[in-house]
Amino acid sequence: MRVYFDNAATTPLDPEVLKEMYKVMENHYGNPSSIHSHGREARTLVEKSRKTIANLLHTSPAEIFFTSSGTEADNTAIRCGIVDHNITHAITSRIEHHAVLHTLEAMEKAGIIKLSFVNVDEKGNVDYDHLETLLKTNERSFVSIMHANNEIGTLSNMDRIGDLCEAYNAIYHCDTVQTMGHYRHDLGKLKTHFLVCAGHKLHGPKGVGFLHINHRIKIKPFIYGGAQERNMRGGTENIYGIVGLAKALEMAYAEMEQHQAHIQGLKSYMIGKLVDQIPGVKFNGETDADKSLYTVLNVAFPEMEMADMLLFNLDISGISASGGSACSSGTDIGSHVLTAIGASSSRPSVRFSFSKYNTKEEVDFTVNKVRELCLVNA
C-alpha cells in the first residue's frame, strides 16, 4: 500500500478539474489580451472563472486578482499594502508561513517597518489581548495573521482580528491558503483587506492562486508589465490554471459538508488509534474540531533513537508525510512553528494531513507502521 498523508503540502488534482483544464488546453490557446476571436474566447474563460470565484466568496469579481501562487499573493499584499500606505509598523506571529515571515523580516531589515510579534500559546492560539495592546501602542499597523497554521492546524478567529483591526484603523492581511475550499469565507462580511488562495491546496492545479483585495483599499502593482488583471499584475494569465482553480473551488463548495465530515472523522479516528497504540504520544497544536483545521494532525512521538530518520522510514514503508522537530539550537534547521510554541526538540513530530481521497484503511496501515517504528527505535 502507498499512502499519501501530505495534503497540506499539496493535494492531488481532481479528475474533473483536469478535464476542464484539458478542454481549455486543447481548444483555447489564444492570449486573453488579444482582441481577435481567439483572444476574446480566452478572456471570456478568465472572466467567467473570476465571476465563479467571486460568487462563491460573496464578493465582487473586481476584487479578485489571479497570481502564480499563494506566495506571490502574500508578497503583493504585504509589500504593496505597507509601502503604498506608508505603514511603518507590522504585526505578525512567529508561526506564520515563511512567505509572510520572510517578507516582513526582509522589510524590517531594509528599515521600512518595525516588526512586532503577537504572542501565541503552547497550542498556537493567538493572544488577542496582546494583539490589541500592540495595535493600541503603535502607529497604524499592518496585521498579517493566517487563518489556519499549515503545520499544526490551529485556527485563528478572523472575525475577532478583523474587529480589532477596524477599531485601530489597521490593515488586515490573512493567508487562507490552508482553509480556502475547506471553510466558507464570506468576504462581504469579513473585515479583511487582503486574503490569499493557492489552487493546489484544494485539488486544483499548481502555479495559480488569487489575491482578494477589498475595495476599501488601493495598492499599486507588485509585478509591472502589461495591463493584465486590470493593470494590477503584469504577465499573461495562466488560463488553464485559472479555469482549473475556479472548477476546484466550485467543487469544494458543493461538496464541503460531506468532505468535512469524512476528513474530520479520519482525523478523530487516527487520534484515537494513536493514543490507544502508542504510549506517550502527544499532539502539537489544537485538536478540538472547533479550534483546529480538520485536514491537519501534528503528532509528537515519544523520544526514540534515530528520530531524525522517522520520516525517511515512513517513506520507505509507503507513507508520505512531513514534519520534523523543534530547533534545539540556533544552527538547527527545524520547524520554526514547533519552536515558537515550545514543543520539545527531543520528540520527533510528523504532520499527517488528509484529503477527501483518504480512507480509514490507510489510517490503520499508517498507525501500525508507526507503532512498529516506535517499538524498534525505543
What's residue 22's pLDDT?
97
**Band (346; pLDDT cuts 50, 70, 90):** confident
State how far the Cα of 147 lies from the Cα of 152, in Å rounded to an integer. 12
What's residue 377's pLDDT?
59
**Band (329; pLDDT cuts 50, 70, 90):** very low
State how far the Cα of 138 lies from the Cα of 116, in Å rounded to an integer. 10
Q: First CA to last CA across the chain, in angstroms?
A: 25
Whether 322 shows a pLDDT value over 70: the answer reads yes
Beta bridge partners of 297: 352
Residue with cell 503584469: 234
50 and 61 Cβ atoms separated by less than 8 Å: yes
**Band (325; pLDDT cuts 50, 70, 90):** low
Whether 332 shows a pLDDT value over 60: the answer reads no
Q: If one looks up domain 3-11+255-377 in CATH, what number appears?
A: 3.90.1150.10
State how far the Cα of 33 lies from the Cα of 301, in Å rounded to an integer. 53
Domains 3-11+255-377 and 15-254 share a fold: no
**Band (328; pLDDT cuts 50, 70, 90):** very low
pLDDT (average), residues 361-376: 90
Say what percent of the chain tops pLDDT 90.
Answer: 90
Alpha-helical runs (H) found in 58-190: 70-83, 98-109, 128-136, 158-167
What's residue 269's pLDDT?
98
Active site residues: 327
Burial profile 129-155: b = 16 or more Cβ within 10 angstroms, e = fewer: eebbebbeebeebbbbbbbbbbbbbbb
Residue with cell 478572456: 43
Mention the CATH class of domain 15-254.
alpha beta
Whether 64 shows a pLDDT value over 80: the answer reads yes
Domain ranges of the chain: 3-11+255-377, 15-254
DSSP structure string for 118-148: --B-TT--B-HHHHHHHHHTSSSEEEE--SB
What's residue 309's pLDDT?
83
State how far the Cα of 195 lies from the Cα of 209, in Å rounded to an integer. 11
Residue 331 DSSP one-character state: T
What's residue 378's pLDDT?
55
pTM above 0.85, yes or no: yes
State how far the Cα of 274 lies from the Cα of 367, in Å rounded to an integer. 6
Taking the CA atoms of 224, 141, 108 and 323 in sequence, report the sign of the dihedral they define.
negative
Whether 305 shows a pLDDT value over 70: the answer reads no
Angle at 158 between CA 172 and CA 343, to 5 degrees: 100
Residue with cell 505578525: 92
The pLDDT tens digits of the residues spanning 233-272 come to 999 999 999 999 999 999 999 999 999 999 999 999 999 9
What's residue 323's pLDDT?
81
The pLDDT tens digits of the residues spanning 262-273 come to 999 999 999 999
Sequence-distant (6+) residues with CB within 8 A of 45 are 24, 28, 32, 239, 242, 243
Whether 300 shows a pLDDT value over 90: the answer reads yes
